[in-house]
Amino acid sequence: MSRLARISIVTLSVIIFLYVGLGYVLGKTSDDKSYRSLSVFGEVLQHIQEDYVDEPNMTLVTAGALHGLLESLDPQSGYLSAREYADYRDRTKNTQHGEAGMTVSKRYGYIVVVSVVPDGPAEKASLRDGEILEAIGGFSTRDMSVGQATMLLQGAPGTPVKVAVVRRGKTEPQEVSINRAVIGPQHVVADRVADDVAYVRLPALETLDVTELHDKLAQFDKQGLHKLVLDLRDCTRGQVADAITAAQFFLSSGKIASLEGQTVPRKEFSAEPDKVVWRSQVDVLISSSTSGAAEVLAAAIKGNKRGEVLGERTFGTASEQKTIPLDDGGAVILTVAFYSAPDGKSIVEEGVAPTVEVHTRLQDPDASAADTEEPEPLGPGQLPKADDPVYNKALELLKGGEASKAA
């Protein structure tokens, strides 16, 4: 095809694209900013076709543009091609699919590990929170949405998936094979840890965990315990509705959280006095591996000054997504609303900051990240170890120690 013919076809395509796009946008909004954005997109598309060093694959160019467009909004939004969306629907129908046993999000332009399931496939393969997945199944995660990454990590139980992991303090990725498995229910860990102190770790905020939390709190109250350590570190799974229920176990009054988006009417969640189970002292443990529903619970206790929140700032993912099918068979996973703490601050934008900051890793500016010692993850049913600084600080405060803002 001659250059003149190619330019003519591209120009016509851009005109049609703008005409159709403009008509669609004007049908949805009266804002002319959308028209200007479409004009810029069309202009860039034309230059790619006319001036790029080689004849580009416009299917890949368009897909890349859509991925970048969604990623510019927030880590949880993403684009699925028709093939990916079909695979997504198939996987969501199968409740017994195998998975890698980790929660992922997006940071630094790549997929990162937020937390790993205790004794799950990822932990057995020595993956830890905060590590970067440069590639999954041979595909770079640079232009990959969280939804795509999650789908690639899932598969038939017993099958392997290879990931390229950039460890803390390292620059070169290391290839690791993870054997997928079905992740069963994770139970609450609870026990008396001192004369008047109880400990509860929530591995997730799902209906089973919240029911178990209710029962354990009631049991500790009957035993006459008056102090509680609530551990939300590594808690990334579950629904915000269950976090609201859990927060009501601790709060007799006040606002728990609010939800709002451009097309989502503002909704506020409040405490209900008749649902309170634990009226005694409580301290909450958080970390960068606390995300989603657990952030709502931590923010509610902090915002109502119900207890100290110790550890490090949470990851920041408490939001609601909507899957919107497209005419070509693909889909957009779009964040439609953010959850806010009782003070009105967006949890996604700011995370939940501790009231008492306690670092679990060596904070030495002269030491490289490779020299910092990683704490060993807790296994199912295990209580915190004796050298756990966040846990120890919580015990100190509950026993009457002075609250230091950094430790």
Boundaries of every domain in the chain? 3-56, 82-179, 189-320+333-398
Would you say the C-alpha torsion 271, 334, 140, 181 has a positive or negative sign?
A: positive
User: Is the model's pLDDT at 279 over the cut of 60?
Assistant: yes
Task: State the Cα–Cα distance between residues 359 and 286, nearest whole angstrom.
Answer: 11
Task: State the Cα–Cα distance between residues 291 and 130, nearest whole angstrom.
Answer: 13
Give bridge partners of residue 325 from the DSSP assignment: 331
* 300-333 exposure pattern, b = at least 16 Cβ within 10 A, e = fewer: bbbbbebbbbbbbebbbbbbebeeeeeeeebbbb
User: Is the model's pLDDT at 374 over the cut of 70?
Assistant: no
Task: State the Cα–Cα distance between residues 192 and 189, nearest whole angstrom.
Answer: 11
User: Is the model's pLDDT at 296 over the cut of 60?
Assistant: yes
Give bridge partners of residue 320 from the DSSP assignment: 337
- What φ, ψ does residue 304 adopt, rounded to 5°? -100, 10
Say if CB 262 and CB 348 are below 8 A apart.
no
User: Is the model's pLDDT at 24 over the cut of 50?
Assistant: no
At the topology level, CATH places domain 189-320+333-398 in 2-enoyl-CoA Hydratase; Chain A, domain 1 (3.90.226)
Model pLDDT, residue 368: 44
A 10 A CB-CB count for 265 gives 8
Tokens of 6: 């190619």
CA nearest to 216, candidates 193, 185, 237: 193
Model pLDDT, residue 96: 66
Average the pLDDT over 48-72 and give the result.
83
Model pLDDT, residue 357: 96
Q: Could you report the per-residue pLDDT of 145-179, keeping only the tens digit for each?
A: 898 899 899 988 999 999 999 988 888 999 999 99
Query: 36 Cβ partners below 8 Å, 6+ apart?
Result: none
Say if CB 232 and CB 286 are below 8 A apart.
yes
Task: State the Cα–Cα distance between residues 112 and 48, nearest whole angstrom.
Answer: 31
Average the pLDDT over 377-386 and give the result.
80
Identity of the amino acid at 152: L
Say if CB 123 and CB 99 are below 8 A apart.
no
3-state DSSP of 308-332: CEEECCCCCCCEEEEEEECCCCCEE
Give the long-range contacts of residues 150-155, CB within 8 A, separation 24 or more: 150/104, 151/84, 151/87, 151/88, 151/91, 153/99, 153/100, 153/102, 153/104, 153/178, 153/180, 154/91, 154/97, 154/98, 154/99, 154/100, 154/180, 155/97, 155/98, 155/180
Helical (H) or strand (E) element with 167:
none
Query: 228 Cβ partners below 8 Å, 6+ apart?
Result: 197, 198, 199, 200, 217, 220, 278, 280, 281, 282, 283
Model pLDDT, residue 9: 46
Model pLDDT, residue 49: 82
Identity of the amino acid at 110: Y
Model pLDDT, residue 403: 42
Taking CA atoms, 118 is separated from 186, 349, 384, in Å, by 9, 28, 13
- In this structure, whether the domain defined by 82-179 belongs to CATH 2.30.42.10 is answered with yes
Collapsed DSSP state (helix, strand, coil) of residue 46: helix
Identity of the amino acid at 323: T
User: Is the model's pLDDT at 1 over the cut of 80?
Assistant: no
Would you say the C-alpha torsion 362, 312, 249, 184 has a positive or negative sign?
A: negative
Model pLDDT, residue 371: 43
pTM comes to 0.84
Give the length of the chain.
Answer: 407
User: Is the model's pLDDT at 344 over the cut of 70?
Assistant: yes
